[in-house]
Amino acid sequence: MERRESVQERLAELTERVSAVQAKTDDATARRDAAQSELDVEAASVTKERELVAGSVPADLIKLYEKLREQQGGVGAARLYQRKCEGCHIELNITELNEVRAAAKDTVVRCENCRRILVRTAESGL
Ligand SMILES: [Zn+2]
């Protein structure tokens, strides 16, 4: 009789623990689903923005960028900042810097090391 009560108590305890774990699982699942929804909304927004920007870039440049992006682990262009390519983090030598400086503003310049398209900005000083 005592043994039966002991088993029933243990069963109740384990049932309660299963319920607690299930509640935690349900909570985590709900948080994951909410985060996924936020990411879906953000992805849709960024995709739309990208399409708008891509529409203003010449097709051959987009093609080059997509090819480089595929080859370079998802990053086809990188900012040139303080003489450094932010794609490979290698500093351009003086000859390369002079070539970039001499290039027209609309010329596509590329990193000699990683071959990514270098994005010149006002901070590039070039
Ligand atoms: Zn580079």
In the chain, domain spans: 1-56, 59-124
Q: Which of 38-42, 44-48, 115-119, 120-124 has the lowest mean pLDDT?
A: 120-124
Q: What local confidence, expressed as pLDDT, does residue 126 receive?
A: 66
- Statement: residue 47 has pLDDT above 70: yes
- 30 C-alpha to center of ligand 1: Å? 42
Q: CB of 111 within 8 A of CB of 87?
A: yes
Q: How far is the CA of 81 from the centre of ligand 1 (A)?
A: 11
76 DSSP assignment: -
**pLDDT greater than 70 at residue 42:** yes
Give pLDDT, residue 1.
65
Ligand 1 centroid to Cα of residue 39, in Å, is 30
8 A C-beta contact, residue 95 and residue 103: no
CA distances from 15 to 1, 3, 5, 7 (A): 21, 18, 15, 12
Per cent of the chain over pLDDT 70 is: 97
| Contact present, 116 and 88 (Cβ < 8 Å) | yes
75 Cα to the center of ligand 1, angstroms: 10
The confidence score (pLDDT) of residue 3 equals 87
